[in-house]
Structure 1
Amino acid sequence: MRTAYSVDTVRAAERRLMARLPEGALMQRAAAGLAAACADVLGRVYGRRVVLLVGSGDNGGDALYAGARLARRGAGVTAVLLAPERTHAGGLAALLRAGGRSVSPADAEEVVRRADLVLDGIVGIGGRGGLRPDAAALAALVAASRAAVVAVDLPSGVEADTGEVRGAAVRADLTVTFGTHKPGLLIDPAREYAGVVRLVDIGLELPEEAELEALQHADAAALLPVPGVESDKYRRGVVGIAAGSARYPGAAVLAVAGALRGGAGAVRYVGPAGEAVIARFPETLVSDQGPKQAGRVQAWVVGPGAGDDAGTVAEVLDADVPVLVDADGLRLAEVGAVRARTAPTLMTPHAGEAAALLGVAREEVEAGRLAAVRELAGRYRATVLLKGSTTLVADAGGGVVRVNATGTGWLATAGSGDVLSGVAGSLLAAGLSALDAGSVGAYLHGLAGRFAAEGAPVGAHEVAGAVGRAWRDVVRR
């Protein structure tokens, strides 16, 4: 599992490690990894032009020492010093001894224009609020250049703990981060600025519980339900789908499609779109008698395409089994009814729905996704899956947040969220916790979107059809 830790946690681990190491040894470890990554990007170091953007902190020191290593291998290295009087003295001395040189920001335009690689060491992990004007001007020069851009620890101008970008920031092709990932490297919008992320182990000892987790194939495979020799449809889990309306029968069809491929042993459908569902999926158990008369289920999905059917939403929330609430269900669910539930609840809003639930603008949610998902989880006492380019899943207890980036922009299509609801609802019925069902459901759904699209527009029904391929890919790899 990929993990990310806050700035305070990282700095505490660095202090503990530096107390046991010779002075400067930790920075040298970071610089060695950084120089190696830059050399990989350059391919051939000798004769290449490298520009260092150097701020006043240790981030700038890392860049200077890495630049010295590249200079010793024959690169022409120039450091642009944003704060000459506060530049890391040891790093600058090492660069000059190795044959590098330094210039002021006033002389940066020509060297950046001619650079093969720019190393961003302006601001470290403690940066807040976007870049100052002089640094922002450098970032604009870099953006207009042909150089490859490598960020030291994280791109300057993005916020390490939240993934927010509050002003001008450097856009990197590669970010070389030290010791552990920082949350901002995994969460949009900051993730867009990081490019490819390369982790350099510098020997930090970190707590077992991270601020942010990201499943990998092995983690998802370990959580997927596998039927045994004694399994039947009830042991595998039965998921109920209360979705669709006369106006939106397709939402019911798509939610059922996701549920049938999500691992449950059977799917019960309740609602006015029964004919459309049974015509497409004859294995579905269809009822028009309401959730309480539908028969045995181990979890419910309620809300996709439900229109204004508040009665059905309330009836499902009253059930003593796990419930996934999506789409219209989010609008119709009473806060008190959700908070009063004793069985797990998984809410799956997109940014617009989350904004409506929080009473803020959509742009505020999109700019601060981590804060938004945590606030929703706390307000509703529910596990919340916030959909988007990076999907966040916050545990009802407020401690664990997982991030998923397996998806593709082609998943931004009508009905895609209904498929996700069905998949995650099936995983709930199979016995996964709300956190695991949301996380694994998003992981599979994102992969299915990639497989179905293959770089071209795709419909939600095609995404549902690719869930099996995604499942097999996770298990086999």
Structure 2
Amino acid sequence: MRTAYSVETVRAAERELMARLPEGALMARAAAGLAAVCAELLARGRGRVYGARVVLLVGPGDNGGDALYAGARLARRGAGVTAVPMDPERMHPGGLAALRAAGGRVAASVPGRADLVVDGLLGIGGRGGLRPAAAALVERIPAGAAVVAVDLPSGVDADTGEVAGPAVTADVTVTFGAYKPGLLTDPGASRVGAVRLVDIGLDLDGAAVALEAPQHADVAALLPVPTASSDKYRRGVVGVVAGSEQYPGAAVLAVAGALRGGAGAVRYVGPAADAVLARFPEVLVGRGRVQAWVVGPGLGSGREAEVGRALADTDVPVLVDADGLRGLDAGVVRGRRAATLLTPHAGEAAALLGVARETVEAGRLAAVRELAGRYGAAVLLKGSTTLVAPGGGGAVRVNPTGTPWLATAGSGDVLSGLAGALLAAGLGGVDAGSAAAYLHGLAGRFAAGGAPVVAQEVAAALPRAWRSVRD
């Protein structure tokens, strides 16, 4: 599991480590790691470090110091290094002396040409976007230069991923000691490029984790595997309440996700039975005993009673999606004994929270935490970075798989059915949501292959995604 920690937690670990190290040792470790990544990029792009044109955008804090010391290392290898300060009176004195001693120089403006730009303007403590002086430097980053951000791109909030105004878009972000939530959560995540973690010796054992990003092994450990004694009922029966005369395909796709997600059987309840059976004759039609309900995809209006009926079955896990989320009663959800998983996209989340969609998209981490707390349920917030938050607080999970091609009609219906199958197999809300998002993202990549894809192709690729994770 890739783990990210809050700025407060990282700062505390840094203070503890600095108290045990000689002065400047921690910054030296960070600068060495940063310089190594920069040298690697230069060697890959132009064959060598010697003769490269490197520009350092230098802020007044430790980020600027890291950039200056790294620049000194590159200058000693023959690069031409120019530091451009945001505030010339507040440059890190030790870093500035090291750069000048290595042959680097300081300039008042950003040169028009560069092979590499190092963004050392703001560190992980930066809040509220770039100040005008920093924004002016960012606007002058030369076209074609590779951009390396120090710890995180300036203008991105380290704790939330929020971006308030102008911000750096990096090709590579070199982060120190631990991942920060803003590196893994949009809109900030779309600006970090490739993330390289440099170990500087922080001790984070036992520290509170803010964000988790599952990997193959984590998901593989969650996936149910039938045994010799399994039958279709032990594997889990999913009840799907979905579809309408207007949206019969939603029912078909939710059922497809459930079947491809390992359900032993699927019971379909709704007006699209003919369409479902035409595609999947193995589906059972009508109510009966189930181990989980999936309610809402393509349900249409006027069917709130069906949502309420599923939620009233308090001992059975329920996933509520799409039309099922309209008018959802937080008190009813909070009163349930079994797991509840809500799966809104940004617009649906905004309606539940009573805010504008733009507010959710700009602060996805805050929105998913607020929803999970308000409803006392696991919440899977779909989008460019899918987040899954537990109802009782704690670490949020961020999904690292997927492709923009998954932004297609019916994709969310497949995800709902898949997550419902995992709920029926016995997984809790957060585990079912995060494992489903991971598999769904992989299936989207496999099905798309860099080209447009439709939802039924995503469902068909789920077995390949499952095998990829298990193997």
Whether TM-score is above 0.5 comes out as yes
User: Deviation at 1:229?
Assistant: 1.4
What is the 5 A alignment of 1:105-144?
Answer: 107-108=109-110, 111=111, 113-142=112-141, 144=142
Looking at structure 1, the residues matched to 107 and 133 of structure 2 have their Cα atoms a distance apart, in angstroms, of 14
In the alignment, structure 1 residue 303 sits paired with structure 2 residue 262: no
Match of 2:191, as an amino acid? Y
Looking at structure 2, the residues matched to 411 and 251 of structure 1 have their Cα atoms a distance apart, in angstroms, of 15
In the alignment, structure 1 residue 9 sits paired with structure 2 residue 4: no
Match of 1:116, as an amino acid? D
Looking at structure 1, the residues matched to 73 and 173 of structure 2 have their Cα atoms a distance apart, in angstroms, of 18
User: Deviation at 1:336?
Assistant: 2.0
Q: Is residue 51–residue 117 contact of structure 1 (8 Å, CA) maintained in 2?
A: yes
In the alignment, structure 1 residue 99 sits paired with structure 2 residue 103: yes
Q: Which runs of 5+ in 2 are unaligned?
A: none
Worse-matched range after superposition: 222-231 or 200-209: 200-209
Q: Is residue 245–residue 306 contact of structure 1 (8 Å, CA) maintained in 2?
A: yes
Q: Matched residue of 2:103: which SS?
A: coil
Q: Aligned residue pairs: how many? A: 464
Q: Which residue of 2 aligns with 1:150?
A: 148
Q: Deviations over 1:212-240 (max 9, x none)?
A: 00001111111111111111111111111
User: Deviation at 1:334?
Assistant: 2.1
Q: Which residue of 1 aligns with 2:360?
A: 365
Looking at structure 1, the residues matched to 65 and 291 of structure 2 have their Cα atoms a distance apart, in angstroms, of 57
Looking at structure 2, the residues matched to 350 and 27 of structure 1 have their Cα atoms a distance apart, in angstroms, of 41
In the alignment, structure 1 residue 445 sits paired with structure 2 residue 443: no
Q: Is residue 389–residue 405 contact of structure 1 (8 Å, CA) maintained in 2?
A: no
Q: Which residue of 2 aligns with 1:290?
A: none
Q: Matched residue of 2:84: which SS?
A: strand
User: Deviation at 1:385?
Assistant: 0.3
Q: Deviations over 1:97-137 (max 9, x none)?
A: 11111112xx32xx2x2110000000000001111111111
Q: Matched residue of 1:50: which SS?
A: strand
Match of 1:18, as an amino acid? M
Q: Which residue of 2 aligns with 1:59?
A: 63
User: Deviation at 1:400?
Assistant: 2.0
User: Deviation at 1:27?
Assistant: 0.5
Q: Deviations over 1:188-233 (max 9, x none)?
A: 0001111110000111011434100000111111111111111111
Q: Which residue of 1 aligns with 2:309?
A: 315
Match of 2:299, as an amino acid? A
Looking at structure 1, the residues matched to 70 and 218 of structure 2 have their Cα atoms a distance apart, in angstroms, of 35
In the alignment, structure 1 residue 163 sits paired with structure 2 residue 156: no
Q: Matched residue of 2:140: which SS?
A: helix
Looking at structure 2, the residues matched to 335 and 89 of structure 1 have their Cα atoms a distance apart, in angstroms, of 55
Looking at structure 1, the residues matched to 263 and 37 of structure 2 have their Cα atoms a distance apart, in angstroms, of 45
Match of 2:28, as an amino acid? Q
What is the 5 A alignment of 1:334-349?
Answer: 334-349=329-344
User: Deviation at 1:333?
Assistant: 2.8
Q: Deviations over 1:138-159 (max 9, x none)?
A: 11111x5211000000000110
Match of 2:241, as an amino acid? A
Q: 1:406 aligns with which of 401, 405, 411?
A: 401
Worse-matched range after superposition: 208-217 or 250-259: 208-217
Match of 2:351, as an amino acid? A
Looking at structure 2, the residues matched to 336 and 14 of structure 1 have their Cα atoms a distance apart, in angstroms, of 42
User: Deviation at 1:455?
Assistant: 1.1
Looking at structure 2, the residues matched to 383 and 395 of structure 1 have their Cα atoms a distance apart, in angstroms, of 4
Looking at structure 2, the residues matched to 207 and 395 of structure 1 have their Cα atoms a distance apart, in angstroms, of 22
Looking at structure 1, the residues matched to 127 and 359 of structure 2 have their Cα atoms a distance apart, in angstroms, of 17
Looking at structure 2, the residues matched to 61 and 456 of structure 1 have their Cα atoms a distance apart, in angstroms, of 44
**Superposed CA RMSD:** 0.9
Looking at structure 1, the residues matched to 369 and 205 of structure 2 have their Cα atoms a distance apart, in angstroms, of 21
Q: Is residue 53–residue 120 contact of structure 1 (8 Å, CA) maintained in 2?
A: yes
Looking at structure 2, the residues matched to 263 and 31 of structure 1 have their Cα atoms a distance apart, in angstroms, of 48
Looking at structure 2, the residues matched to 82 and 230 of structure 1 have their Cα atoms a distance apart, in angstroms, of 68
Q: Which residue of 1 aligns with 2:281?
A: 282
Q: Which runs of 5+ in 1 are unaligned?
A: 288-293
What is the 5 A alignment of 1:192-341?
Answer: 192-208=190-206, 209-287=208-286, 294-308=287-301, 309-319=303-313, 320-341=315-336
The alignment's TM-score, normalised by the length of structure 2, stands at 0.97
Looking at structure 2, the residues matched to 37 and 405 of structure 1 have their Cα atoms a distance apart, in angstroms, of 23
Q: Deviations over 1:254-306 (max 9, x none)?
A: 0000000111211111111111111100111111xxxxxx2221111000011
Match of 1:55, as an amino acid? G
Match of 2:277, as an amino acid? I
User: Deviation at 1:183?
Assistant: 0.3
Q: 2:84 aligns with which of 57, 69, 80?
A: 80
Q: Is residue 240–residue 267 contact of structure 1 (8 Å, CA) maintained in 2?
A: yes
Looking at structure 1, the residues matched to 251 and 211 of structure 2 have their Cα atoms a distance apart, in angstroms, of 33
In the alignment, structure 1 residue 435 sits paired with structure 2 residue 430: yes
Looking at structure 1, the residues matched to 327 and 240 of structure 2 have their Cα atoms a distance apart, in angstroms, of 16
Worse-matched range after superposition: 123-132 or 333-342: 333-342
Looking at structure 1, the residues matched to 231 and 269 of structure 2 have their Cα atoms a distance apart, in angstroms, of 22
The alignment's TM-score, normalised by the length of structure 1, stands at 0.96
Looking at structure 1, the residues matched to 105 and 386 of structure 2 have their Cα atoms a distance apart, in angstroms, of 44
Looking at structure 2, the residues matched to 123 and 445 of structure 1 have their Cα atoms a distance apart, in angstroms, of 36
In the alignment, structure 1 residue 470 sits paired with structure 2 residue 468: no
Q: Matched residue of 1:51: which SS?
A: strand
Q: Deviations over 1:14-67 (max 9, x none)?
A: 000011111111100000100000011101101101010000000000000000
Looking at structure 1, the residues matched to 77 and 285 of structure 2 have their Cα atoms a distance apart, in angstroms, of 71
Q: Is residue 86–residue 137 contact of structure 2 (8 Å, CA) maintained in 1?
A: no
Q: Is residue 214–residue 400 contact of structure 2 (8 Å, CA) maintained in 1?
A: no
Looking at structure 2, the residues matched to 114 and 310 of structure 1 have their Cα atoms a distance apart, in angstroms, of 61
Match of 1:92, as an amino acid? L
Change (3 A) 1:332 1:359: closer
Q: Is residue 262–residue 422 contact of structure 2 (8 Å, CA) maintained in 1?
A: yes
Kindly, what percent of the aligned residue pairs are identical?
Answer: 76
Q: Is residue 313–residue 332 contact of structure 1 (8 Å, CA) maintained in 2?
A: no
